[in-house]
Amino acid sequence: MLPPEIIDHILSFLRSDRFTVRQCSRAHPILSKLVQKHIHAYTAIRNVPQDVSQFSKLVSDNPYIANYVRDLRIDILIYYSKVRPVHEEDIALILPKFQMLRRITLTLEVGSEWFMLHRNFRAAFVECLRLPSMIEVSILQGVGFPLNAFVNCTSIKTLTFEGPSTYDSSSLPPQIESLSLRRCYLSLSVITSWVKTCSLRSLSLCPSEISDLPMLLSTCSDTLTSLDVDFTCCTFSLRSFISTLHRHFSLDGINYELSNRMTLSFSCLTKLENLTVHTRLVTSGESGYDSLPAIVDLVRSAPSLTHLTLEIQFMHSTILPEVDWSPLALLVSSSLECNTLYAKPGYIPPEKLLFFFEVNADLMRMVRQGVLQIKKRVDFHN
């Protein structure tokens, strides 16, 4: 038999497949012991009686299991009826037992507020954030999670905020390296002031407006190597934003101010290697959406890019013959090491989109090269 250390390493790749891991435990007594920590490495708890009581009993009967938990997800459910499955204070009694956590995710129902949760639960959750082993935190949905909860959280490297929230920006953040903001209506100016002391290497965001985006990018220009930006939620037209500045300034790598607004360009991101851009195309008569040439210009402004993923969502079939595809074809054939383009059909049948691609020389060449792919299923929330 292989040494236990090697078997343990092999089992670590099966953590996401609990069924297979449990089957392995039945193969040999030694495997049964080794598998335990992999079975409980990822644990999810909901504030419902059955979940809380079962896990509380499991940890009470087997205290060592708490130290196996590395990734914890807590779902706070709020039923809009006379019966609310609170049990948050019961979860608060369990949380201090997890002293080896590396990742924690808190999911609140849409519209529910952080300060409406039981005070014991809030205190216990914040204490978890300060564990020396904690490296990744995700706050999903809900309203009002305070940034000052991260005071003295020295080990956190990755933060994810998702959902409409308001935050207190008065405190210094942990020295995070990765930040993700999805469907989060927090002002970019607030985020900019909050991350000034960080050395961000990875940034993912879906801004509702882009006037403050240049300042945010400038703040992390010396460290950022990976950027994922989703323009599909922008209330301001990226095309109009860039074309307005084109009439006054050139996008030559220098950021100029115009009415307290900076040029939107990736030219300041001198270390950026990986870029993912999400956009959507509608008819030319509609405002608030991005033109393909504007996106291409933006991508080409990145000086050291090696990997590009461009996801385009087509909202109407009438846009297909209106789009100038030559800038995109030229970009794909550039010196980038790897390009991936996804076409999301939107309200257009995928087969109709593919038919249009087949009759366009530039697009068909990209399809045959495997660079341009059509996504069959569209998630309008991602």
Query: Which residue, among 207, 213, 176, has the nearest Cα to 192 in the 3D structure?
Result: 213
Question: Could you read off the pLDDT tens digit of each residue along the chain, which spans 382 residues?
Answer: 667 667 667 666 666 666 666 666 666 666 666 777 777 888 999 888 788 888 888 888 888 889 989 999 999 887 544 445 457 888 999 999 999 999 999 998 877 788 888 899 999 999 999 999 999 999 988 778 887 888 888 899 999 988 665 555 556 567 889 999 877 666 677 778 777 878 899 999 887 777 778 888 888 999 999 999 988 776 555 555 554 443 333 334 444 343 334 467 898 999 999 999 888 776 554 444 456 777 888 888 888 888 888 887 777 777 777 777 777 777 776 656 566 667 666 667 777 777 777 777 777 877 777 777 776 544 433 4
Burial 60-77 (b: 16+ CB within 10 A, else e): eeeeebbebbbbbbbbbb
The pLDDT of residue 112 = 79
If DSSP codes are grouped into helix, strand and coil, which group holds residue 295?
Answer: helix
Separation CA 221–CA 223 (nearest Å): 6
Beta strands in the chain (DSSP E): 42-46, 71-76, 103-108, 136-140, 158-162, 178-182, 202-205, 226-230, 274-281, 307-314, 338-344, 372-374
Judge residue 230's burial from the number of C-beta atoms within 10 Å of its C-beta, 0-12 exposed, 13-18 middle, 19 or more buried: buried
Is pTM beyond 0.85 here?
no
Note the maximum CA span of the chain: 74
Asked if 320 and 345 touch (Cβ cutoff 8 Å), the reply is no
Q: What is the pLDDT of residue 148?
A: 80
Q: In 3D, which of 284, 185, 301, 164 has the Cα closest to residue 234? A: 185
257 alpha-carbon distance from chain centroid: 30
Q: Is 225 helix (H, G, I), strand (E, B) or coil?
A: coil
